[in-house]
Chain A
Amino acid sequence: MATPVQSGVIGTGGRDLVVDGLVDEIEAVRAVQAGDLAAFAPLYTAYWPTVHGIVLAQAHTVEVADIAQDVFVTALSRIAELRDPAAFGGWLATMARHASVDAVRRRRSTVVVTDDVRIDVPPPRLEALAVLRVIRELPAAYRETLVLRLVEGMTGPEIALRTGMTAGSVRVNLHRGMKMLRARLGADDGGDNA
Protein backbone atom coordinates (compact mmCIF):
# COMPACT_ATOMS: atom_id res chain seq x y z
CA MET A 1 0.00 0.00 0.00
CA ALA A 2 1.47 3.37 -0.98
CA THR A 3 -0.01 6.77 -0.27
CA PRO A 4 1.04 10.28 -1.20
CA VAL A 5 2.94 12.39 1.30
CA GLN A 6 3.63 16.02 0.62
CA SER A 7 7.21 16.30 1.70
CA GLY A 8 10.06 14.59 3.43
CA VAL A 9 11.95 11.54 2.31
CA ILE A 10 12.70 9.44 5.34
CA GLY A 11 15.51 7.00 5.03
CA THR A 12 15.70 4.60 7.93
CA GLY A 13 18.02 1.71 8.38
CA GLY A 14 18.96 1.89 4.74
CA ARG A 15 15.32 1.84 3.61
CA ASP A 16 13.61 4.68 1.83
CA LEU A 17 10.06 4.66 3.11
CA VAL A 18 9.00 7.60 1.01
CA VAL A 19 9.83 7.41 -2.67
CA ASP A 20 8.55 9.98 -5.15
CA GLY A 21 6.21 11.33 -2.50
CA LEU A 22 4.62 7.95 -1.81
CA VAL A 23 4.97 6.26 1.55
CA ASP A 24 5.14 2.49 1.77
CA GLU A 25 2.80 2.16 4.73
CA ILE A 26 3.24 -1.52 5.42
CA GLU A 27 7.02 -1.18 5.42
CA ALA A 28 6.74 1.91 7.60
CA VAL A 29 4.56 0.10 10.14
CA ARG A 30 6.98 -2.82 10.22
CA ALA A 31 9.90 -0.48 10.73
CA VAL A 32 8.16 1.24 13.66
CA GLN A 33 7.32 -2.14 15.17
CA ALA A 34 10.99 -2.98 14.97
CA GLY A 35 11.71 0.10 17.10
CA ASP A 36 12.42 2.73 14.43
CA LEU A 37 10.41 5.69 15.73
CA ALA A 38 11.35 7.96 12.83
CA ALA A 39 9.55 5.65 10.43
CA PHE A 40 6.29 6.80 11.98
CA ALA A 41 6.73 10.35 10.62
CA PRO A 42 5.37 9.68 7.10
CA LEU A 43 2.47 7.73 8.57
CA TYR A 44 1.71 10.66 10.85
CA THR A 45 1.63 13.05 7.91
CA ALA A 46 -0.45 10.74 5.73
CA TYR A 47 -3.01 9.89 8.40
CA TRP A 48 -3.35 13.25 10.14
CA PRO A 49 -6.41 14.34 8.05
CA THR A 50 -8.15 11.03 8.74
CA VAL A 51 -7.65 11.15 12.48
CA HIS A 52 -8.39 14.87 12.64
CA GLY A 53 -11.62 14.37 10.69
CA ILE A 54 -12.83 11.47 12.80
CA VAL A 55 -12.22 13.43 15.98
CA LEU A 56 -13.75 16.60 14.55
CA ALA A 57 -16.95 14.70 13.80
CA GLN A 58 -17.56 14.30 17.53
CA ALA A 59 -15.30 16.17 19.90
CA HIS A 60 -15.34 19.84 20.78
CA THR A 61 -13.50 21.88 18.17
CA VAL A 62 -11.00 23.45 20.57
CA GLU A 63 -9.85 20.01 21.66
CA VAL A 64 -9.60 18.34 18.27
CA ALA A 65 -5.90 18.92 17.56
CA ASP A 66 -4.88 17.79 21.04
CA ILE A 67 -7.01 14.66 20.91
CA ALA A 68 -5.76 13.81 17.42
CA GLN A 69 -2.18 14.19 18.57
CA ASP A 70 -2.90 11.98 21.59
CA VAL A 71 -4.22 9.32 19.22
CA PHE A 72 -0.90 9.23 17.39
CA VAL A 73 1.09 9.09 20.60
CA THR A 74 -1.07 6.20 21.81
CA ALA A 75 -0.80 4.46 18.46
CA LEU A 76 2.96 4.79 18.56
CA SER A 77 3.10 3.30 22.03
CA ARG A 78 0.84 0.39 21.14
CA ILE A 79 1.92 -0.37 17.61
CA ALA A 80 3.55 -3.62 18.68
CA GLU A 81 0.03 -4.93 19.31
CA LEU A 82 -0.93 -4.49 15.66
CA ARG A 83 -0.55 -7.91 14.06
CA ASP A 84 -1.38 -7.03 10.47
CA PRO A 85 0.46 -3.91 9.24
CA ALA A 86 -2.02 -3.62 6.38
CA ALA A 87 -4.78 -3.00 8.93
CA PHE A 88 -3.04 0.10 10.28
CA GLY A 89 -5.65 2.52 8.92
CA GLY A 90 -8.64 0.75 10.43
CA TRP A 91 -6.81 0.25 13.70
CA LEU A 92 -5.89 3.93 13.91
CA ALA A 93 -9.42 5.02 12.96
CA THR A 94 -10.91 2.87 15.71
CA MET A 95 -8.50 4.41 18.17
CA ALA A 96 -9.52 7.89 17.05
CA ARG A 97 -13.22 7.07 17.48
CA HIS A 98 -12.64 5.77 21.00
CA ALA A 99 -10.58 8.83 21.91
CA SER A 100 -13.36 11.11 20.64
CA VAL A 101 -16.02 9.27 22.60
CA ASP A 102 -13.87 9.43 25.73
CA ALA A 103 -13.34 13.17 25.25
CA VAL A 104 -17.05 13.82 24.81
CA ARG A 105 -17.86 11.74 27.89
CA ARG A 106 -15.22 13.53 29.94
CA ARG A 107 -16.58 16.90 28.92
CA ARG A 108 -20.18 15.93 29.61
CA SER A 109 -19.24 14.96 33.14
CA THR A 110 -17.95 18.45 33.76
CA VAL A 111 -19.39 21.26 31.71
CA VAL A 112 -20.50 21.53 28.12
CA VAL A 113 -18.63 24.22 26.28
CA THR A 114 -20.28 25.50 23.14
CA ASP A 115 -18.75 27.51 20.36
CA ASP A 116 -21.38 30.23 20.77
CA VAL A 117 -19.72 31.81 23.77
CA ARG A 118 -16.39 32.41 22.10
CA ILE A 119 -16.07 35.89 20.70
CA ASP A 120 -12.56 35.56 19.25
CA VAL A 121 -13.66 33.34 16.37
CA PRO A 122 -13.14 34.87 12.91
CA PRO A 123 -16.33 35.05 10.77
CA PRO A 124 -15.31 32.43 8.15
CA ARG A 125 -14.69 29.96 10.92
CA LEU A 126 -18.05 30.80 12.50
CA GLU A 127 -19.78 29.95 9.21
CA ALA A 128 -17.85 26.71 9.00
CA LEU A 129 -18.81 25.88 12.58
CA ALA A 130 -22.46 26.47 11.72
CA VAL A 131 -22.26 23.90 8.91
CA LEU A 132 -20.30 21.52 11.12
CA ARG A 133 -23.03 21.78 13.73
CA VAL A 134 -25.57 20.64 11.15
CA ILE A 135 -23.33 17.73 10.13
CA ARG A 136 -22.97 16.70 13.75
CA GLU A 137 -26.74 16.47 14.06
CA LEU A 138 -26.79 13.74 11.42
CA PRO A 139 -26.67 10.07 12.38
CA ALA A 140 -23.25 8.95 13.57
CA ALA A 141 -22.65 6.76 10.54
CA TYR A 142 -22.86 9.72 8.15
CA ARG A 143 -21.18 12.54 10.02
CA GLU A 144 -17.72 10.99 10.14
CA THR A 145 -17.73 10.22 6.43
CA LEU A 146 -19.04 13.68 5.60
CA VAL A 147 -16.41 15.43 7.70
CA LEU A 148 -13.66 13.43 6.01
CA ARG A 149 -15.09 14.32 2.61
CA LEU A 150 -16.06 17.94 3.16
CA VAL A 151 -13.60 19.22 5.76
CA GLU A 152 -10.53 17.11 5.09
CA GLY A 153 -11.11 17.00 1.34
CA MET A 154 -10.70 13.23 1.01
CA THR A 155 -12.35 11.30 -1.82
CA GLY A 156 -14.64 8.34 -1.23
CA PRO A 157 -12.01 5.73 -2.17
CA GLU A 158 -9.49 7.50 0.06
CA ILE A 159 -11.87 7.38 3.00
CA ALA A 160 -12.38 3.66 2.50
CA LEU A 161 -8.64 3.07 2.24
CA ARG A 162 -7.77 5.12 5.31
CA THR A 163 -10.51 4.09 7.71
CA GLY A 164 -10.81 0.42 6.89
CA MET A 165 -14.48 0.83 5.99
CA THR A 166 -15.77 -1.07 2.98
CA ALA A 167 -16.24 0.86 -0.23
CA GLY A 168 -19.93 0.06 -0.10
CA SER A 169 -20.33 1.57 3.36
CA VAL A 170 -18.54 4.75 2.38
CA ARG A 171 -20.63 5.08 -0.76
CA VAL A 172 -23.89 4.65 1.14
CA ASN A 173 -22.82 6.97 3.94
CA LEU A 174 -21.79 9.70 1.54
CA HIS A 175 -24.87 9.38 -0.61
CA ARG A 176 -27.40 9.38 2.23
CA GLY A 177 -25.43 11.82 4.34
CA MET A 178 -25.16 14.37 1.55
CA LYS A 179 -28.86 14.04 0.86
CA MET A 180 -29.73 14.72 4.49
CA LEU A 181 -27.22 17.53 4.78
CA ARG A 182 -28.52 19.24 1.67
CA ALA A 183 -32.06 19.00 2.98
CA ARG A 184 -31.12 20.45 6.36
CA LEU A 185 -28.98 23.25 4.98
CA GLY A 186 -31.78 24.05 2.56
CA ALA A 187 -34.25 24.15 5.43
CA ASP A 188 -31.93 26.46 7.41
CA ASP A 189 -31.69 28.82 4.45
CA GLY A 190 -35.45 28.98 4.10
CA GLY A 191 -35.49 26.44 1.31
CA ASP A 192 -33.48 28.57 -1.16
CA ASN A 193 -30.83 25.94 -1.72
CA ALA A 194 -33.12 22.96 -1.83
Chain B
Amino acid sequence: MRDDAWWDGDDDEHIAALQRELAPLREPPPPWGDVHARARFGTAPQSRASAGRRILAAALAAAAAMALGWWFGRGDAQPATITPVPAPASALESVPVADPQSREREPVASPLVVPIPVPVVAADEAVATAARRELLGRQFARLNEHEKARAAGRTSPEQDEAAENVEAAARANDLPESPTAQEVKDALAPLKGAAKACGVQHGATSGETVKIKLSIEGATGRVTSSTAQSPHAGTELGRCVAEVLANARFPRFRKPSIGVVYPVAM
Protein backbone atom coordinates (compact mmCIF):
# COMPACT_ATOMS: atom_id res chain seq x y z
CA MET B 1 0.00 0.00 0.00
CA ARG B 2 1.53 3.34 -0.96
CA ASP B 3 1.46 6.56 1.07
CA ASP B 4 -1.38 8.08 -0.94
CA ALA B 5 -3.84 5.58 0.50
CA TRP B 6 -3.60 7.54 3.70
CA TRP B 7 -4.84 10.58 1.80
CA ASP B 8 -7.43 8.94 -0.38
CA GLY B 9 -9.32 6.71 1.99
CA ASP B 10 -9.47 4.14 -0.75
CA ASP B 11 -7.36 1.46 -2.35
CA ASP B 12 -4.98 1.91 -5.25
CA GLU B 13 -6.98 -0.06 -7.76
CA HIS B 14 -10.20 1.83 -7.27
CA ILE B 15 -8.41 5.18 -7.52
CA ALA B 16 -6.52 4.06 -10.62
CA ALA B 17 -9.71 2.79 -12.25
CA LEU B 18 -11.48 6.10 -11.63
CA GLN B 19 -8.48 8.03 -12.90
CA ARG B 20 -8.50 6.02 -16.10
CA GLU B 21 -12.22 6.61 -16.53
CA LEU B 22 -11.93 10.34 -15.93
CA ALA B 23 -8.76 10.83 -17.99
CA PRO B 24 -10.67 12.06 -21.11
CA LEU B 25 -11.63 15.16 -19.12
CA ARG B 26 -8.02 16.24 -18.74
CA GLU B 27 -6.96 19.03 -21.06
CA PRO B 28 -3.43 20.13 -21.86
CA PRO B 29 -2.77 23.80 -21.25
CA PRO B 30 -3.31 26.03 -24.27
CA PRO B 31 -0.01 27.42 -25.59
CA TRP B 32 1.67 29.79 -23.18
CA GLY B 33 1.96 32.25 -26.06
CA ASP B 34 -1.83 32.77 -26.01
CA VAL B 35 -1.85 33.83 -22.38
CA HIS B 36 1.29 35.87 -22.86
CA ALA B 37 -0.20 37.68 -25.85
CA ARG B 38 -3.48 38.39 -24.07
CA ALA B 39 -1.65 39.74 -21.05
CA ARG B 40 0.68 41.77 -23.22
CA PHE B 41 -2.01 43.36 -25.34
CA GLY B 42 -4.63 43.65 -22.65
CA THR B 43 -3.68 43.58 -19.05
CA ALA B 44 0.05 43.38 -18.65
CA PRO B 45 1.22 43.07 -15.08
CA GLN B 46 2.50 46.20 -13.48
CA SER B 47 5.23 46.15 -10.94
CA ARG B 48 4.56 48.47 -8.05
CA ALA B 49 7.50 50.63 -9.02
CA SER B 50 6.36 51.21 -12.56
CA ALA B 51 2.63 51.62 -11.96
CA GLY B 52 2.85 55.36 -11.30
CA ARG B 53 5.04 55.89 -14.32
CA ARG B 54 2.58 54.01 -16.52
CA ILE B 55 -0.34 56.09 -15.28
CA LEU B 56 1.61 59.27 -16.01
CA ALA B 57 2.53 58.04 -19.48
CA ALA B 58 -1.08 57.06 -20.20
CA ALA B 59 -2.30 60.50 -19.11
CA LEU B 60 0.27 62.20 -21.32
CA ALA B 61 -0.68 59.92 -24.20
CA ALA B 62 -4.35 60.78 -23.81
CA ALA B 63 -3.60 64.51 -23.65
CA ALA B 64 -1.41 64.38 -26.73
CA ALA B 65 -3.99 62.34 -28.62
CA MET B 66 -6.74 64.81 -27.77
CA ALA B 67 -4.58 67.72 -28.86
CA LEU B 68 -3.74 66.07 -32.17
CA GLY B 69 -7.35 65.08 -32.67
CA TRP B 70 -8.48 68.68 -32.17
CA TRP B 71 -5.74 69.96 -34.48
CA PHE B 72 -6.56 67.65 -37.35
CA GLY B 73 -10.30 67.86 -36.86
CA ARG B 74 -10.78 71.61 -36.51
CA GLY B 75 -11.01 72.47 -40.20
CA ASP B 76 -13.36 69.61 -40.97
CA ALA B 77 -16.64 71.41 -40.48
CA GLN B 78 -18.60 69.85 -43.35
CA PRO B 79 -19.95 66.59 -42.03
CA ALA B 80 -21.29 64.62 -44.96
CA THR B 81 -18.82 63.38 -47.47
CA ILE B 82 -19.02 59.95 -48.97
CA THR B 83 -15.29 59.49 -49.42
CA PRO B 84 -13.43 57.69 -46.69
CA VAL B 85 -10.93 60.06 -45.19
CA PRO B 86 -8.02 58.31 -43.59
CA ALA B 87 -6.15 59.80 -40.69
CA PRO B 88 -3.32 62.17 -41.57
CA ALA B 89 -0.19 60.31 -42.49
CA SER B 90 1.88 62.51 -40.24
CA ALA B 91 -0.04 61.34 -37.23
CA LEU B 92 0.33 57.71 -38.14
CA GLU B 93 3.99 57.98 -38.89
CA SER B 94 4.77 59.37 -35.47
CA VAL B 95 5.09 56.14 -33.54
CA PRO B 96 8.14 56.55 -31.33
CA VAL B 97 10.64 54.64 -33.38
CA ALA B 98 14.11 54.34 -31.97
CA ASP B 99 16.39 57.15 -32.74
CA PRO B 100 18.98 58.16 -30.17
CA GLN B 101 18.96 61.74 -31.34
CA SER B 102 15.20 62.09 -31.28
CA ARG B 103 15.23 60.75 -27.75
CA GLU B 104 17.21 63.78 -26.74
CA ARG B 105 15.08 66.14 -28.78
CA GLU B 106 11.71 64.85 -27.59
CA PRO B 107 12.07 63.30 -24.22
CA VAL B 108 8.64 62.12 -23.09
CA ALA B 109 5.30 62.94 -24.55
CA SER B 110 5.77 64.21 -28.04
CA PRO B 111 6.06 61.18 -30.36
CA LEU B 112 2.62 59.77 -29.78
CA VAL B 113 0.41 58.43 -32.46
CA VAL B 114 -3.24 59.36 -32.75
CA PRO B 115 -5.01 56.33 -31.39
CA ILE B 116 -7.43 54.67 -33.76
CA PRO B 117 -10.53 55.12 -34.17
CA VAL B 118 -9.40 56.49 -37.47
CA PRO B 119 -11.45 59.48 -38.58
CA VAL B 120 -13.28 57.86 -41.44
CA VAL B 121 -16.55 59.32 -42.68
CA ALA B 122 -17.93 56.43 -44.58
CA ALA B 123 -20.88 55.77 -46.79
CA ASP B 124 -19.28 52.60 -48.03
CA GLU B 125 -18.36 50.36 -45.11
CA ALA B 126 -16.18 48.11 -47.23
CA VAL B 127 -14.03 50.98 -48.44
CA ALA B 128 -13.82 52.38 -44.94
CA THR B 129 -12.75 49.02 -43.59
CA ALA B 130 -10.07 48.70 -46.25
CA ALA B 131 -8.77 52.16 -45.39
CA ARG B 132 -8.72 51.32 -41.71
CA ARG B 133 -6.87 48.08 -42.35
CA GLU B 134 -4.28 49.84 -44.46
CA LEU B 135 -3.69 52.36 -41.72
CA LEU B 136 -3.43 49.62 -39.15
CA GLY B 137 -0.91 47.84 -41.33
CA ARG B 138 1.27 50.93 -41.47
CA GLN B 139 0.95 51.41 -37.77
CA PHE B 140 1.98 47.85 -37.03
CA ALA B 141 4.93 48.23 -39.37
CA ARG B 142 6.09 51.22 -37.37
CA LEU B 143 5.59 49.28 -34.18
CA ASN B 144 7.73 46.48 -35.56
CA GLU B 145 10.49 48.95 -36.25
CA HIS B 146 10.18 50.14 -32.71
CA GLU B 147 10.36 46.56 -31.45
CA LYS B 148 13.62 46.00 -33.31
CA ALA B 149 15.03 49.20 -31.92
CA ARG B 150 13.96 48.23 -28.45
CA ALA B 151 15.73 44.90 -28.79
CA ALA B 152 18.85 46.81 -29.76
CA GLY B 153 18.51 48.96 -26.66
CA ARG B 154 17.95 52.16 -28.59
CA THR B 155 14.68 53.27 -27.02
CA SER B 156 13.75 55.04 -23.84
CA PRO B 157 11.23 53.63 -21.33
CA GLU B 158 8.84 56.43 -22.24
CA GLN B 159 9.00 55.51 -25.90
CA ASP B 160 8.42 51.87 -25.04
CA GLU B 161 5.36 52.66 -22.98
CA ALA B 162 3.94 54.94 -25.63
CA ALA B 163 4.42 52.19 -28.20
CA GLU B 164 2.69 49.68 -25.95
CA ASN B 165 -0.28 51.99 -25.57
CA VAL B 166 -0.49 52.42 -29.31
CA GLU B 167 -0.17 48.69 -29.84
CA ALA B 168 -2.99 47.93 -27.43
CA ALA B 169 -5.24 50.50 -29.09
CA ALA B 170 -4.40 49.16 -32.53
CA ARG B 171 -5.11 45.57 -31.50
CA ALA B 172 -8.48 46.54 -30.06
CA ASN B 173 -9.38 48.31 -33.26
CA ASP B 174 -8.21 45.60 -35.58
CA LEU B 175 -11.60 43.93 -35.31
CA PRO B 176 -14.58 44.12 -37.62
CA GLU B 177 -17.58 46.14 -36.56
CA SER B 178 -19.66 42.98 -36.42
CA PRO B 179 -19.46 39.44 -37.81
CA THR B 180 -20.64 38.80 -41.36
CA ALA B 181 -23.64 36.62 -42.04
CA GLN B 182 -21.28 33.94 -43.32
CA GLU B 183 -19.25 34.04 -40.11
CA VAL B 184 -22.45 33.62 -38.09
CA LYS B 185 -23.47 30.66 -40.24
CA ASP B 186 -20.01 29.11 -39.96
CA ALA B 187 -20.03 29.41 -36.20
CA LEU B 188 -23.44 27.78 -35.89
CA ALA B 189 -22.95 25.08 -38.50
CA PRO B 190 -21.08 22.60 -36.25
CA LEU B 191 -23.97 22.72 -33.77
CA LYS B 192 -26.72 22.03 -36.29
CA GLY B 193 -26.54 18.26 -35.86
CA ALA B 194 -26.93 18.47 -32.10
CA ALA B 195 -29.74 21.00 -32.50
CA LYS B 196 -31.59 18.73 -34.91
CA ALA B 197 -31.24 15.88 -32.43
CA CYS B 198 -33.49 17.91 -30.15
CA GLY B 199 -36.27 17.35 -32.68
CA VAL B 200 -35.95 13.58 -32.35
CA GLN B 201 -35.70 13.85 -28.59
CA HIS B 202 -38.83 15.99 -28.24
CA GLY B 203 -40.96 14.62 -31.04
CA ALA B 204 -40.86 17.51 -33.49
CA THR B 205 -42.59 17.06 -36.83
CA SER B 206 -40.40 16.84 -39.92
CA GLY B 207 -39.72 20.29 -41.37
CA GLU B 208 -40.75 22.09 -38.21
CA THR B 209 -38.57 25.18 -37.74
CA VAL B 210 -37.40 26.46 -34.38
CA LYS B 211 -36.20 30.06 -34.33
CA ILE B 212 -33.62 30.95 -31.70
CA LYS B 213 -32.68 34.47 -30.73
CA LEU B 214 -29.01 34.72 -29.74
CA SER B 215 -27.27 37.66 -28.11
CA ILE B 216 -23.54 37.64 -28.81
CA GLU B 217 -20.99 39.62 -26.84
CA GLY B 218 -18.47 41.42 -29.05
CA ALA B 219 -15.54 41.36 -26.65
CA THR B 220 -15.59 37.59 -26.24
CA GLY B 221 -17.61 36.27 -29.17
CA ARG B 222 -19.63 34.23 -26.71
CA VAL B 223 -23.38 33.82 -26.52
CA THR B 224 -24.80 35.72 -23.56
CA SER B 225 -28.40 34.66 -24.04
CA SER B 226 -30.18 32.13 -26.15
CA THR B 227 -33.97 31.95 -26.25
CA ALA B 228 -36.50 30.22 -28.44
CA GLN B 229 -39.00 32.42 -30.19
CA SER B 230 -42.73 31.86 -30.56
CA PRO B 231 -44.28 29.33 -31.05
CA HIS B 232 -41.47 27.38 -29.35
CA ALA B 233 -40.85 29.82 -26.51
CA GLY B 234 -41.09 27.98 -23.20
CA THR B 235 -41.35 24.53 -24.81
CA GLU B 236 -38.94 21.68 -24.14
CA LEU B 237 -37.99 21.59 -27.80
CA GLY B 238 -37.23 25.31 -27.90
CA ARG B 239 -35.22 25.10 -24.72
CA CYS B 240 -33.23 22.14 -25.99
CA VAL B 241 -32.26 23.88 -29.24
CA ALA B 242 -31.46 27.10 -27.38
CA GLU B 243 -29.14 25.19 -25.05
CA VAL B 244 -27.25 23.70 -27.97
CA LEU B 245 -26.80 26.99 -29.81
CA ALA B 246 -25.64 28.68 -26.60
CA ASN B 247 -22.35 26.81 -27.09
CA ALA B 248 -21.52 28.66 -30.30
CA ARG B 249 -18.36 30.74 -30.47
CA PHE B 250 -18.13 33.66 -32.87
CA PRO B 251 -15.21 35.77 -34.03
CA ARG B 252 -14.76 38.78 -31.76
CA PHE B 253 -16.03 42.16 -33.00
CA ARG B 254 -16.09 45.79 -31.92
CA LYS B 255 -19.78 46.32 -31.16
CA PRO B 256 -20.66 45.57 -27.54
CA SER B 257 -23.17 42.96 -28.65
CA ILE B 258 -25.40 41.92 -31.52
CA GLY B 259 -28.60 39.89 -31.78
CA VAL B 260 -29.07 37.04 -34.23
CA VAL B 261 -32.17 35.02 -35.02
CA TYR B 262 -31.26 31.60 -36.34
CA PRO B 263 -33.82 29.14 -37.67
CA VAL B 264 -33.20 25.42 -37.26
CA ALA B 265 -35.27 23.05 -39.36
CA MET B 266 -36.00 19.77 -37.58
A-to-B contact residues, CB < 8 Å = 32-35, 37-38, 40-41, 44-45, 48-49, 52, 56, 61-62, 64-65, 69, 72-74, 76-80, 106, 110-114, 117-120, 122, 124-125, 127-129, 131-132, 149-153, 155-157, 170-171, 174-176, 178-179, 181-182
**Given the complex, which residues of A lie within 8 Å of B247, measured CB to CB?**
62, 113, 118
- In the complex, the answer to whether A122 meets B46 with C-beta atoms within 8 Å is no
Provided the pairs A178-B8, A178-B10 are in contact, do residues A76 and B35 lie with their beta carbons within 8 angstroms? yes
**Given the complex, which residues of B lie within 8 Å of A76, measured CB to CB?**
35, 39, 43-45
B-to-A contact residues, CB < 8 Å = 4, 6-10, 14-15, 18-19, 21-30, 32, 34-36, 38-40, 42-48, 50-51, 190, 193-194, 197-198, 201, 223-227, 239-240, 242-244, 246-247
**Given the complex, which residues of B lie within 8 Å of A176, measured CB to CB?**
9
Provided the pairs A33-B47, A117-B244 are in contact, do residues A111 and B22 lie with their beta carbons within 8 angstroms? no
- In the complex, the answer to whether A155 meets B32 with C-beta atoms within 8 Å is no
**Given the complex, which residues of B lie within 8 Å of A128, measured CB to CB?**
21-25
- In the complex, the answer to whether A182 meets B10 with C-beta atoms within 8 Å is yes
Q: Which of B35, B227, B239 touches A73 (beta carbons < 8 Å)?
A: B35
Chain B facing A: main interface SS: helix
Q: Which of B8, B39, B198, B223 touches A175 (beta carbons < 8 Å)?
A: B8
10 closest A-B pairs by beta carbon, nearest first, are: A156-B7, A175-B9, A77-B43, A48-B29, A125-B24, A76-B39, A178-B10, A110-B225, A113-B243, A128-B24
- In the complex, the answer to whether A56 meets B30 with C-beta atoms within 8 Å is no
Q: Which of A38, A111, A181 touches B246 (beta carbons < 8 Å)?
A: A111
Provided the pairs A76-B35, A111-B225, A119-B193 are in contact, do residues A33 and B43 lie with their beta carbons within 8 angstroms? no
